[in-house]
A and B are shown apart, each in its own frame.
Chain A
Amino acid sequence: MDWNFIIFSVVKIAVVIGVVQGMVSYTVLAERKISAWIQDRTGPNRTTPPFVKDIPVIGPFLIRLGVFQPLADGLKFMFKEDFTPAGVRKIYFFLAPAIAVIPAMLTVAVIPFGSTLGAQKMVIADLNVGILYTFGIVSLGVYGIVLAGYAANSKFPFLGGIRSSAQMISYEISMGLSVIPVLLIVGNLNLGEIIRWQATNGWLIIYAPVAFIIFLVASFAETNRLPFDLPEAETELVGGYHTEYGSMKFALFFLGEYSNMVASAGMMVTLFFGGWTLPFWGLDHAAGTLASGIAHILIFLLKMGVFIVLFIWVRWMFPRFRYDQLMDLGWRRFLPLALVNILVTAIILWMRA
């Protein structure tokens, strides 16, 4: 037994889960704030914990920004009555939120969120088949939603579950195929290796822009975000697959959705935008010192932040696609496009070889 490895892994897992949870709660805040700004509103600006008000200048500013809102939201979810409606399929009803959250959290395990810190690689599991693992886990996420729709024993969640399964399966194919050009170019499935390749040869967005666009759209669909939020279309399905859920179980679905968002932002940064690297100031090779190691982590988080803001921004910009339009887009536009993209990339690589 390599105790060193175990201890460091546990520490990394704990820290990463903590950071992801924190990011999720503040993504919710960002969602509320950005939506408010786009809609000419102010957004949450009231939550005032004791003593914070007395801090000069900064305190009122933070309250105005709603920084403490996620704490209040979390507390509210915790203390709400955990109500189970009559007629639900109990076991599945309890299982579904967990199944929605776990894959979302597991995806983060292979994403390298920094180069090195001391002697430790800043990735929980440095798998050789990182991308395959990610796609395998991401496709599990649909079960949580389908199970929730089934377990609720109510028609609207059921419709949400059906929509979700159709949508996620059809977009997953495009998503998987869109990454193949990246793998062809780099020649490695390890996410760390992909980042190192990008550090020497430039970001993959330059080499595979079409792949990036397909991946971006597919990840909107995978995370059930607008314009593809059919499983939880409030105007059509009351609340979608989580209509019958309340309190912490509902919060878990929320958590799953937003951690999916965080994870796919991380995947996009890793695959197409050079992960933790920056092409200048010598930040493109593994860190020698502690300071540059921390800088790499911050760069990664910053890049992720940009994508999370994009996710949020797009949500408050577009109307929802109709169901047939969504399927049309998935199967008849993006699938052929992804296949052609693979073919073209392969031909170019073959000709250059």
Chain B
Amino acid sequence: MIVNRKPLTFWERLYLPAIVGGFKVTLKHAYATLFQGKVVTMEYPEQKWAVPPDYRGAPYLVKDQEGNTKCVSCQLCEFVCPPKAIRITPPGPTGKQADRTNAEKMPAEFEINMLRCIYCGFCQEVCPEEAIFLQKDYSLVGSSREEMIYNKEKLLALGGVSPGIQKWKLKLEEAKAQESFPVKL
């Protein structure tokens, strides 16, 4: 494609129209910013942006509606985690029992290194218990590396209660229903 460039007229070659135009545009913007408050920037710590509903923030452990730990220490998330940010310490054969019925065990310790986490969401996807969710926190701060490794208590406290389904409650009701034969579901 050939673009015909028109030679500049004498008036244009003086640069004067461009100079006047430049002053006009910049003055308009400066006036709008100074006196009408039309600022495109957001003053971050005071104002915060609305986090979209499908945002993938920091992963936290959640509790179910009865306040029990949902995680059953299956270690699938630990296995799937690409940067190996998750470390789960299982309770072992003599360890503590799960604090809810119908769960075999719960993690003795559950750590996520937030410096390693890449917010990919694999842990949330792989979790059979719906115990870990990527939530809306995007600004995690700490003054040391150790501080950025979040332990179970911290993750549970930050995670809150899951609004999701209670899988094991349903299973329990199903099992109870099975005790009286024929099955009525």
A34 close to B (CB within 8 Å): yes
A153 close to B (CB within 8 Å): no
**A295-343 interface (Cβ within 8 A of B):** 313, 316-318
In the complex, the answer to whether A313 meets B26 with C-beta atoms within 8 Å is yes
Given A40-B38, A40-B40, A41-B41, are A317 and B22 neighbors across the interface (CB < 8 Å)? Answer: yes
Chain A residues closer than 8 Å to B26, beta-carbon distance: 38, 313, 316-317
Tell which of A45, A313, A317 has the most Cβ of chain B within 10 Å: A317
In the complex, the answer to whether A41 meets B30 with C-beta atoms within 8 Å is no
In the complex, the answer to whether B39 meets A38 with C-beta atoms within 8 Å is no
Chain A residues closer than 8 Å to B39, beta-carbon distance: 40-42
Q: Chain B nearest CB: distance from A332 CB in Å?
A: 12
Binary contact readout A276-298 vs B (1 if CB under 8 angstroms, 0 otherwise): 00000000000000000000000
Distance, CA A42 to CA B33, complexed state (A): 8
Which of A34, A36, A40, A318 is the one whose CB lies under 8 Å from B32? A40
Binary contact readout B7-23 vs A (1 if CB under 8 angstroms, 0 otherwise): 00000000000100011
Q: Chain A nearest CB: distance from B13 CB in Å?
A: 9
B66 close to A (CB within 8 Å): no
Binary contact readout A39-60 vs B (1 if CB under 8 angstroms, 0 otherwise): 1111001000000000000000
A37 close to B (CB within 8 Å): yes
Chain B residues closer than 8 Å to A41, beta-carbon distance: 33, 39-41
| 26 contacting pairs across A/B (C-beta < 8 A) | A37-B33, A37-B34, A38-B29, A38-B33, A39-B29, A40-B29, A40-B32, A40-B33, A40-B38, A40-B39, A40-B40, A40-B41, A41-B33, A41-B39, A42-B33, A42-B39, A42-B41, A45-B43, A313-B23, A313-B26, A316-B26, A317-B22, A317-B23, A317-B25, A317-B26, A318-B18
In this complex, the interface size class of chain B, counting residues with CB under 8 Å from chain A, is 10 to 19
In the complex, the answer to whether A318 meets B40 with C-beta atoms within 8 Å is no
Binary contact readout B37-70 vs A (1 if CB under 8 angstroms, 0 otherwise): 0111101000000000000000000000000000
Chain A residues closer than 8 Å to B40, beta-carbon distance: 40-41
Interface residues in chain B, defined as those with a beta carbon under 8 Å from any beta carbon in chain A: 18, 22-23, 25-26, 29-30, 32-34, 38-41, 43
Which of B25, B32, B43 is the one whose CB lies under 8 Å from A42? B43
Q: Chain B nearest CB: distance from A318 CB in Å?
A: 6
Q: Chain B nearest CB: distance from A29 CB in Å?
A: 16
| 11 new A-B contacts at CB < 8 Å, known A38-B26, A40-B29, A317-B26 | A34-B30, A36-B33, A37-B30, A37-B34, A38-B30, A40-B40, A41-B39, A42-B39, A313-B26, A316-B26, A317-B22
Interface residues in chain A, defined as those with a beta carbon under 8 Å from any beta carbon in chain B: 34, 36-42, 45, 313, 316-318
Q: Chain A nearest CB: distance from B39 CB in Å?
A: 6
Chain B residues closer than 8 Å to A317, beta-carbon distance: 22-23, 25-26
Q: Chain A nearest CB: distance from B179 CB in Å?
A: 67
Distance, CA A41 to CA B18, complexed state (A): 24
Chain B residues closer than 8 Å to A34, beta-carbon distance: 30
Distance, CA A42 to CA B41, complexed state (A): 7
Distance, CA A242 to CA B74, complexed state (A): 57
Distance, CA A34 to CA B34, complexed state (A): 10
Q: Chain B nearest CB: distance from A174 CB in Å?
A: 16
Distance, CA A318 to CA B16, complexed state (A): 12
Across the two chains, which residue of chain B brings its CB closest to A318? B22
Chain B residues closer than 8 Å to A38, beta-carbon distance: 26, 29-30, 33
Chain A residues closer than 8 Å to B29, beta-carbon distance: 37-40
Q: Chain A nearest CB: distance from B22 CB in Å?
A: 4
Distance, CA A312 to CA B52, complexed state (A): 40
Across the two chains, which residue of chain A brings its CB closest to B24? A317
Chain A residues closer than 8 Å to B38, beta-carbon distance: 40
Q: Chain B nearest CB: distance from A85 CB in Å?
A: 30
Distance, CA A313 to CA B31, complexed state (A): 13
Tell which of B29, B34, B43 has the most Cβ of chain A within 10 Å: B29
Tell which of B18, B25, B30 has the most Cβ of chain A within 10 Å: B30
Chain B residues closer than 8 Å to A45, beta-carbon distance: 43
Chain B residues closer than 8 Å to A316, beta-carbon distance: 26
Chain A residues closer than 8 Å to B25, beta-carbon distance: 317
Chain A residues closer than 8 Å to B22, beta-carbon distance: 317-318
